[in-house]
Structure 1
Amino acid sequence: MTRKVASVNGSTPFKDVAEVLTAHGVSAVPVVDGEGYVIGVISEADLLRKEEFRQQYYGEDYRPPLRARLRRRIGRPGAAPKDKARAETAAELMTAPAITVRAYANVVAAARAMEAHRVKRLPVVDEEGRLEGIVSRHDLLKVFARTDDDIAAEIRDDILQGPMWMDTSGVRVSVSEGVVTLSGHLARHSDAQTIARMTERVNGVVDVLDKLEWQQDDALFSGRPA
């Protein structure tokens, strides 16, 4: 995520919000209160609502640009479009509540949130909802540029050396083009499943090939014989 985040407060005037977006070259900006809590988000689409309803000044024959009409069809729920067109402050303009993500969330969770809510940027908040940073689609794509060696090192250091309840000395890890292959043996099937699930959550992992063997099949759902 990017920690230096441009933000506005609820009383920020419409024109100043537009200037913030333009000056920082971003498509959306979080709205925060006096204590740093994220209370909403304003996107460039919210600002352009005025363009969509300009026909009230230019007559019934005026048609908004195609881009504006598409935004109206796929836009997220929030304030009524006509209300946003009349907005003078950030509080009147913003979409609330804001779609946010916690700092500890993995890349997959952030990407799914963006897709589900049709947004390009997510404010990153702490446990109490205070702004910590912002993550964009571009930031998420950077994760998949990690080298295979970096991914393998994180799996060995943070996963295989982490659990105290299992012996992972028999597990081998190899990574090629982001695809992780887990091989070797563990005492229990459930331990193998846990290792595979934790590996899937590592940033930069494209897929996991689970070739782990086990001695005791204690898993609730067994995919193959012990």
Structure 2
Amino acid sequence: MEMPMETVADASAAGGRTGGRTGGHRRQWLLVLGAVAVTVPPVCSQPGLAALLLPPVALPLCLVRHRAGFRAACLGMAGLLLVVPFLLLFLGGGMAAAIVAALAAPAGVLLLLAAYADPRERRRTSAALAGLGALIVAGWVVQTGAWIGDWRATPEPSGPHTFRAGLDAGGRALAGDPRPAQDALAPHGATSVTGLVIDGRAYLEVGFPQDMPQAQVDELAEHLDGVPGVTGVELCPVAKCG
């Protein structure tokens, strides 16, 4: 005896859900897992958001065996994630509300899709919603990968690679013409010698390679300190001298 087509479709759908006919369909809880996945990177970068975002995003998974409860949880948590942050932003929540709204929006949309992605009710609509959810997750993965790539490519801050030396009255002329000091220090590793006056005080700034061995750096400092007119030598922070 041949099985009716509608029964075959129902049997096929039954194989792709959790909790039998009373639970959420596999397609739905996969969308919820996608919502959890897109929430993890922001939570890792902003640990304070963990208690705020993860519980509402993951709550529907606790009700995956209860079809009506699963849908209600998806809708309720989607509304919470999509409405509340933007409401706070509208009420003057400032930058904090804007950040929470931006981070919560992808998960909220995925939960909303999960609520209506049950193929036992609307097969074609379910497939379209699942496809849209997959695109959202894929887009988020690409964006997160790009962010990680930029983060890894960012060079580490370099250490100081410039000496600043004060000049007394006898050496003040070097601030205007540092060439004699440059000629004396270049053989010892100096790559640049610049004279400058700050608040009436004269200085020499002497640059050297970042990868110069420490012994050679110390030797350069000794020779700089021996230049006539120099009154003191110190490493100048990168933020100050570049």
TM-score (norm 1): 0.24
More strand by share: 1
TM-score (norm 2): 0.23
More helix by share: 2
